[in-house]
Structures are given as structure tokens and as C-alpha cells.
Amino acid sequence: MDRHVVLMLAASLLGALTFVASARAQDAPPAEDSEEPPSEGSPKPAEDEKLARAKELFRRADALRLAGDCANALPIYAASRDLVASVPNTLNAAICAAKTERGGEALELYASLLAGHRDQLTEDELRSVQAEMTRLRAALGQLDVSGEPGALLVVDGRRRGELPLIGPIYVRPGAQEVRVVKQGYEPLVTTVAVRKGEMTRLQASLRPLTASGRVVVEAPSGAELWVDGSPVGQLPFDGLFAPGKHVYQVIDDGLGSPLASMTVVVGQTVQLNPQLTPLGPTVTIATQPPEAALVVNGVPVGDGRWQGRLPAGEVVVEARSEGYVAARRTVTLAASGTLQRIDVTLEVDRTHPRWAQVEEGPGGRFWLEAVGGVVVGPGLEGGAASSCASAVACDTSTLLGWGLGLRAGYELPFKLSIELSGGYVAMGQDLTRTLRDPFIDAAGQEQVVDYQLRDQRRLRGGYLLGGVGYRLPVIDGFEVRGHVGLGPVFLSGRDVVSGAALLGDQGDPVGVIGSGDAHVSVGLLVAPSLDFGIDLDPFVFGLGVQAFVVPLDGASSELGDVVQLDDCNPSAQPTDAACAPNESLVGDEALYGPHVSFMPQLHAGYRF
């Protein structure tokens, strides 16, 4: 069974009995159903009320926890513990803190449970608590904050103690907003990066207020005043703040005032008289982009993220950021609702100068992309293909290969790019041809031999091109681009020739001198292309097709005579095909001629 379930069952079974036991351990009164008056030295009736209030708060918190609303149960458990700390309210508060990603607070509650109530736990419960503490420590990081004594430490909107700390506190890994607040000093607000399993230290040096105004809040007594996202003290409150605008709220056990703005003036007193109404659930508001300014019910509350409780009813959230279309959302909060998250996503305003400066500014922008694909085409042309016109038979395969390349450019404001590209291609084509040649045999008779030859032509090499391109945005997020490049191509080619001499019904193998020798040539390459892309600025992905146009003949294959590989038998009848003389049938052929191939390709790029 899950240890959280075990711990919660244990807490629920202990319930009211443990409250009574805890109270007796602190000289609590007898059970509530006793009609005997308090004897001398017995607790006062006010302490009866304190215990009853703690139990009532515990029941409210437990109802929320069982409904899955740990976020709103936590502050009620805390209020119960402030009155009478017991196993149930401490244990359930720790479980809720762990479930709402407040592992550091859960550890503190578990430590308090062991320090004050270890003797009330069974061995199994004790082992479960210790195992959960070990798990939490391994999943968290530590934060050690030092600074002005008496200053309040608030991490991620939650009170974590006063300085100096007894020791480092545990917090969840990641970016944490840290506030250090003390009356008479300027508050320190910063963000620290906490790493899992590591210690992060922060020296919080506060500067005394050189100019200030006074803020006075008298009622309701015992409620807590929050200013600019930090708790600053209980009511009645009389303190000093830096001049300027501040956001405040008063919260008291499920009741609270609306968010409101106050203006502090040097040397003057601001008298506040907040009206409290039932609060809704804890609300987390987050914007995208994260730098958007947030306004809640007409009150600016900062950038990107806000978390807290608001009075039940209609909540209007507005978000604004330069270069985006302002967004507005209206949500109705119920007094008994559960934790809510409000996400506000702003759409990009493509017409805003913020984006025009990047995409169409006077300086233009650089871009870089990689391309790759499969090369296909009708043929390499050249001498072997030309001989097909006089051949007895000829058959060619499809030109196949592959290519990879890089393109870079500088795009001008009117979408025209000056480009430089380079890459590597490899391609090949097989050709089978039959060439007929007469000869006089040893008996003086004219014979006709057919040379059936197979040419395996292979080309590979690199290219470097300069050119221009143009980008045409079609609809939001999609574009069409055209490119054309011109430059040298450096190709290494070889023609591997094999075959046979056929005479009547017999055949003998032949070879060709120079077959397979590599020959390098420098040619001209023209490479137009058309691409279709998805613009995820600054990234671009898409597909397209590029043509490789080679307008000139390549180097000569420098093949020599077709030679017989078997020995001739001059007395053989009919005449032996191996007796046909060596012939220069394929010499001085161009490895390739003017040709066009195509590369369907994928591309991925980045715009700087």
C-alpha cells in the first residue's frame, strides 16, 4: 500500500483522540462531555474553546483533503496547528504539502511531528514517516539564506521562516523567487536557481529605507497583511514602506479582501480599511510569453505569474506584452472550489515593430540551413550513351544517387537573399550495349562478332555555388522559397566495363583496358531549387526539389581496346569467338555528357 495512504489512514483513525491526548500533554481540560467544573489548577475555559476551534478547523481541512483539494486544505491545517499541534493536523498537513509540490514544507512538518509527537506514533508509522523524509530529501535542493536578523524569508510566495535560519531549508529544484522582507528596509526580490541534491547560498543584504511613508491597518484584528506578494505582519499593523505604488491584501482564515493598490508618499500616512469576504480557492495564473504584465481585477500584480487567493466571484485577468495582442479572461470562483490554474496565452502581433525589426529591419538577417535527399534522373549521357545510336541493342537504368549540402545567405528587407552553398553528390547509372564488329578468321572467312558490354558509370564529388534566392510568405507560418546557384563542380568518375564476345551460339568473356580507372574533371553546375517551408521563427523546416544541371561534357574515360580474356583456338569449328581481334570500340568516350538530375530534399534551417 502507498505510504501516503498508510499515513493518511493513521491520521484519520487517531483524529479527535489524538487532539485530546495532545491537549492533555499541554495541561488541556478534561473531555468536552464532562460536566464537572474546572478544579483549581485546571485549564481555563478559554483553552477549551481553543481546542474546540482547532478540532473544527481540522475537520474542515480534512474534508478539503479528502475531496482532493490539498492546496486549500494546507492553510486551514496550519491554523489548526497554531491553536493545538497534534499528530493528525501535522501529519495530514505534511502529506498535503508533499502532494502540492511543497516538499520543503512537508519535511519541516514531518520533523515537527517527530520532535513533538514521536511517542504517539507506532513503529510502522515511524518507519513510513522516516522513509518519506528520505525520499523528499533526495528529490529536493537546499537553500541557505543569511542576512538581516528578524527578516522574513518568502520562497515562491510561501513563508519559510525568519533570519537567521536554524539551517538550510529544502526547496524544489528549479528557478525560485526569493523575497526577504523587514520593516524599515527595502525588500529584496531575486530569483535563484536551485539544483537537485545541491546547496545554494544567498546573502540577502537589505538596505535601510532612506525615505518612507506610513501604513496603518487596524481591523480585523489577527488577520494578516500581504504587500507586494509577501506577508508583512498581523493586524493591527503600523509600519513603514518605500514610496510608490504597492499591492496589498488582507487574509484571515478563509476570508480576505480584494487585491488593491495603495500609493505611499514620503512623510504621509495611508490608512487602510479593508472589507473581508469569503475567499475562493487558491489560483495560479501563468502567461505565455512569461514576461507579459498581469492585471487581476484591474490591479497590476507583476509579470508572468501570480499565485494566491481571491474573493469568490468573478475574476478578470488581463495580460499585455509588447509585440503581442492583449488577452483577457474572465473566471468565476466558487467559495468551495478546488485549486484552479488560469493560463493566458497571447497571440503574436505580426504587424508590431518588435517583429519587423527582426524580420524586415534595415540590416536584414543571416540564415543557415542543411539540405539532403535522393538524386534521380534520366541518365548521364556521354560517350557510352551516344554509342547506343549505332549499337545492335542498348538498355539503360535510371540514374540514382544521393546528395547533402549546406546553404547560407543574407536576406535583405525585401526578401531577396544573397547565397553561398556547397555540398557533395554521388550518383551512378548502368548501361548495357551490344556493338557489332566483323573480322576475318584464320580460314579467311568473314565472321561477325557481337560485343555485349556492361558499363557501370559512377560519379561523386563536391560543388561550391554562389547565387540568389527569394522568400515568399504564403500564409502565417508557411512560405515558398526559390534559389538558383552557379559554380564549379569537382567530379571523380569511373567506368567499370565487363562483357562477352558472342559468335553464333558461343560466347567468351572480354575486358576493356583502363576499365575502372578514376578520372577527375572540373565542370560547371547550375542548381535551381524550389522549397516549401514551415516558419517556426527562428527555425524553418520543409521539403523541396533541387535540379542539378551539368551543361558540359566530362573528362574522357580513356578506355582502351576490348580484349579477349580466353585463349584462341584457331582450329576450332565453328570459329572460336575468342579468336576475334582486339578492337578499339569504346576508346575516348566522355564519362558523362550534358545532363539534368533532380534531388527531392528535406531542409532544416535557422535564422539569426
pLDDT of residue 566: 87
Which band of pLDDT confidence, cut at 50, 70 and 90, is reported for residue 356? low
CATH architecture of 1-34+42-139: Alpha Horseshoe (1.25)
Which residues, 6+ apart, have CB-to-CB distance to 150 below 8 Å?
162, 163, 182
> Nearest Cα to 246, choosing from 301, 198, 287?
301
Distance in angstroms (rounded) separating the CA atoms of residues 414 and 37? 93
CATH architecture of 142-208: Sandwich (2.60)
Check pLDDT > 50 for residue 27. no
pLDDT of residue 7: 53
Distance in angstroms (rounded) separating the CA atoms of residues 344 and 231? 26
Question: Quick one: DSSP state of residue 58?
Answer: H
pLDDT of residue 23: 36
Check pLDDT > 90 for residue 465. yes
pLDDT of residue 337: 67
pTM summary value: 0.50
Same fold for the pair 1-34+42-139 and 364-607: no
Mean pLDDT computed over every residue of the chain? 85
Cβ contact 7:65 at 8 Å: no
Which band of pLDDT confidence, cut at 50, 70 and 90, is reported for residue 541? very high
H, E, C per residue of 464-511: EEEEEEEEEEEECCEEEEEEEEEEEEEEEEEEEEEEEEEECCEEEEEE
> Nearest Cα to 315, choosing from 339, 342, 337?
342
pLDDT of residue 38: 39
pLDDT of residue 45: 65
Cβ contact 213:264 at 8 Å: yes
pLDDT of residue 44: 61
Q: Residue written as cell 480534512?
A: 62
Maximum CA pair distance of the chain?
149
DSSP assignment of 564-588 equals E-SPP-TT-SS--GGGSPPB-SSTT
Phi-psi region of 430 (alpha: psi -120 to 50; beta: other; left: phi over 0): beta
Which residues, 6+ apart, have CB-to-CB distance to 8 below 8 Å?
65, 91, 92, 95
pLDDT of residue 601: 94
The cell numbers describing 352, all together, are 508590431
Check pLDDT > 70 for residue 132. yes
Distance in angstroms (rounded) separating the CA atoms of residues 181 and 316? 29
Which band of pLDDT confidence, cut at 50, 70 and 90, is reported for residue 24? very low
pLDDT of residue 43: 53
Q: Where are the domains of the chain?
A: 1-34+42-139, 142-208, 213-223+234-345, 364-607
Check pLDDT > 60 for residue 324. yes
Which amino acid is residue 300, in one-letter code? Answer: P
For 201-237, what is each residue's pLDDT tens digit? 999 889 998 888 899 998 788 888 898 888 888 889 9
Check pLDDT > 80 for residue 143. yes
Task: Give CA torsion, residues 236, 242, 247, 251, to 10 deg.
Answer: -20
CATH architecture of 213-223+234-345: Sandwich (2.60)
Which band of pLDDT confidence, cut at 50, 70 and 90, is reported for residue 414? confident
Distance in angstroms (rounded) separating the CA atoms of residues 455 and 266? 95
Distance in angstroms (rounded) separating the CA atoms of residues 577 and 563? 12
Q: At what angle do helices 3-25 and 87-99 cross, to 10 degrees?
A: 150
CATH of 364-607, one of 2.40.160.20, 2.170.140.10, 3.30.70.580, 1.10.3720.10: 2.40.160.20
Which amino acid is residue 437, in one-letter code? Answer: D
Check pLDDT > 80 for residue 386. yes
pLDDT of residue 361: 45
Which of 346-355, 481-490, 549-558 holds the top average pLDDT? 481-490
For 387-406, what is each residue's pLDDT tens digit? 888 888 999 999 999 999 99
SS3 40: coil
211 burial (CB, 10 Å; 0-12 / 13-18 / 19+) is: exposed
